[in-house]
Amino acid sequence: MKIKLKKVQKANNKKNKFTAIFEVDGKEKKINFGAVGYRDFTLMNTKTSEFYEPDKKKRDIIKDRYQKRHKRNLSTAQNPQGLGAAALSYYILWTVPTVKGGIREYLKIFENINK
């Protein structure tokens, strides 16, 4: 299966934050992820966000708790392609302070993408 992450953009619906657009075996596949109205690690690190958390220790505790709750569903053995809203949210929104950095983390974890 040939997979390429073409881009991540703001979602066109009111329920999700982002849409990841992939090319999978020559066909476009869109996956919406990140529920609107809920905090994520990127928002907790953004000073203009309503979810901004000034205390770095508290941000890290919240991130660690999220990752512990959701890790069991994300093993790359169960989802080797990373094509799912759960994997996209976990790695893009909950690993590093920025979405751009999260995309880099996602691509590191799922090395099969874009090769």
pLDDT in tens, 26-76: 999 999 999 999 999 999 999 999 999 999 999 999 999 999 998 876 766
Domain assignment present for 67:
yes
Tell me the β-bridge partners of 22. 5, 29
What is the DSSP secondary structure assignment for residue 50, as one 8-state letter? T
Domain assignment present for residue 13? The answer is: yes
Identify the domain containing residue 66 by its residue range.
3-109
**SS3 (DSSP) at 66:** helix
Pairing of strands 27-35, 16-24: antiparallel
In this prediction the pTM is: 0.90
How far apart (Å, rounded) are the C-alpha atoms in residues 101 and 9? Answer: 14
Strand duo 3-10 + 27-35: pairing: unpaired
CB of 5 closer than 8 Å to CB of 82 = no
Q: What is the DSSP letter of 97?
A: S
Domain contains 115: no
3 in Cβ contact with 113 (< 8 Å): yes
Which pLDDT band, with edges at 50, 70 and 90, does 111 fall under?
confident
* Number of domains observed in the structure of the chain: 1
